[in-house]
């Protein structure tokens, strides 16, 4: 059963907004953050209005009820992503926080001088900088899986890149720049052969397709709730239970302890050991309702809807002269993200003119400066789609690009 984006749009108050310049909002920046349905907004507000209390430590009703709502979200997240168990779900502030947690706990414990950490050349800075910092501290080496011209991973020399000295492979499932979706099977198989661990940055993939964590057989998987209809400030780190059990805490403080003496402390069991301090309770509760919404629509339906939009966008954008699209042409290997440049026109100029038409896209290097350097460009214009976007949104994008070309004195069509 396909989804109806026109019906879905009614659940998102912001999508009916008229901007100050009188233009209706056309939101195509879902790769940065998704919009929120009313059910998520209401749930977040309802917590503050009716259930506001700290969790895990109160014996009174409000605290116990808030704790129940919070922990129910953990169980729901585990089921939604078919994880090993609820204890394997660690709530964080986002994907960046989750990756840094692994680097600072598992990484500092298990990475030694001379060890190798394998990344790819198109990683988001969140999955690059933490490993640079760790490698510098531990005197370890960084190695990189290259990409082909179509931005898929080049695995031709995988056995030379992932070796017996490799301790960790940290890699993205879907590029936030090109939308390329990577089959990680060969990489995971090689990781198992050498006895290493694998962390997957799922920030882009988790919101657009069904994810079965047990079937993927990854050691860590990180993603953000705000990209999948949830509030900001909520992320998830999945880790195999036996690995998380062996990891020391990263942050010390409340909730992560079992017993504290003046000279030493013992730590709480999972997941509390890795969740120090008061969390984003309202955000996690709101995320629970985001999962409900996505479950009702169906992740498979969302994936198919985005494929239809991407195919339509390719068809329309490819008719525009002087426009280059980056990434693979194979729609089976793409998500709902399209990055492009326009000959002789800076991406920031494109974004500014599109904004005058009410069309919101992302421009710049997208926190992927090494990839931009390899592509020999300063940045791209990125349009990214989600379940509430329509063909009319893409038509508005194309119309606005025509205006860009008109302003810069170029012919609008081939």
CA distance 26 to 33: 14
Could you tell me where the DSSP H helices lie in 157-275? 158-161, 185-194, 213-216, 241-246
pTM reported for the whole predicted model: 0.96
Residue owning tokens 């990125």: 382
Domains of the chain: 5-30+298-412 (3.90.1150.10), 41-296 (3.40.640.10)
CA distance 239 to 101: 11
Is 381 one of the annotated active-site residues of the chain? Answer: no
Q: How crowded is the C-beta side of 312, counted as CA atoms within 13 Å? A: 18
Maximal C-alpha separation, the chain: 75
**Burial of 154 from C-beta contacts in 10 A (0-12 / 13-18 / 19+):** middle
pLDDT tens digits, the chain, 414 residues: what are they?
Answer: 689 999 999 999 999 999 999 999 999 999 999 999 999 999 999 999 999 999 998 899 999 999 999 999 999 999 999 998 999 999 999 999 999 999 999 999 999 999 999 999 999 999 999 999 999 999 999 999 999 999 999 999 999 999 999 999 999 999 999 999 999 999 999 999 999 999 999 999 999 999 999 999 999 999 999 999 999 999 999 999 999 999 999 999 988 888 988 989 988 899 999 999 999 999 999 999 999 999 999 999 999 999 999 999 999 999 999 999 999 999 999 999 999 999 999 999 999 999 999 999 999 999 999 999 999 999 999 999 999 999 999 999 999 999 999 999 754 444
Catalytic residue among 85, 207, 367, 368: 367
Tokens of 8: 């879905």
Cα angle 351, 120, 240 (rounded to 5 degrees) comes to: 110
Strand order from edge to edge, sheet including 362-364: 323-326, 337-342, 380-384, 362-364
């Amino acid at each position: 059963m396909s989804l109806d984006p026109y019906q879905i749009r009614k659940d998102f108050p912001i999508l009916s907004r008229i901007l100050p310049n009188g233009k209706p909002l056309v939101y195509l920046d879902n790769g940065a953050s998704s919009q929120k349905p009313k059910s998520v907004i209401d749930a977040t507000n309802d917590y503050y209005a009716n259930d506001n209390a700290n969790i895990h430590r109160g014996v009174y009703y409000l605290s116990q009820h808030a704790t129940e709502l919070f922990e129910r979200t953990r169980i729901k997240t585990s089921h939604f992503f078919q994880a090993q168990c609820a204890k394997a779900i660690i709530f964080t502030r986002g994907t960046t926080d989750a990756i840094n947690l692994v680097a600072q706990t598992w990484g500092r414990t298990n990475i030694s001088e001379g060890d190798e950490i394998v990344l790819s050349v198109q990683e988001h800075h969140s999955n690059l900088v933490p490993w640079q910092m760790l490698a510098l501290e531990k005197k370890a080496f960084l190695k990189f899986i290259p990409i082909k011209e179509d931005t898929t991973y080049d695995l031709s020399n995988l056995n030379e890149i992932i070796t017996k000295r490799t301790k960790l492979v940290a890699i993205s499932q879907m590029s936030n720049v090109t939308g390329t979706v990577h089959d990680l099977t060969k990489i995971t198989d090689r990781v198992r052969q050498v006895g290493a661990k694998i962390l997957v940055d799922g920030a882009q993939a988790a919101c657009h397709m069904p994810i079965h964590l047990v079937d993927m057989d990854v050691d860590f998987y990180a993603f953000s709730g705000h990209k999948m209809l949830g509030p900001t400030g909520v992320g998830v780190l999945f880790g195999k239970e036996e690995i998380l059990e062996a990891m020391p805490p990263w942050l010390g403080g409340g909730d992560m302890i079992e017993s504290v003496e003046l000279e030493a402390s013992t730590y709480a069991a999972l997941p509390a050991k890795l969740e120090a301090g008061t969390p984003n309770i309202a955000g996690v509760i709101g995320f629970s309702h985001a999962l409900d919404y996505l479950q009702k629509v169906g992740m498979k339906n969302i994936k198919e809807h985005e494929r239809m939009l991407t195919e339509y966008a390719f068809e329309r954008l490819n008719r525009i002269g002087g426009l280059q699209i980056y990434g693979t042409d194979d729609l089976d290997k793409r998500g709902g993200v399209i990055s492009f440049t326009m000959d002789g026109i800076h991406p920031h100029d494109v974004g500014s003119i599109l904004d005058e038409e009410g069309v919101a896209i992302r421009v710049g290097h997208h926190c992927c400066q090494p990839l931009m350097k390899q592509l020999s460009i300063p940045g791209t214009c990125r349009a990214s789609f989600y379940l509430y976007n329509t063909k009319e949104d893409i038509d508005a994008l194309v119309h606005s690009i025509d205006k860009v070309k008109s302003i810069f004195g170029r012919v609008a069509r081939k």
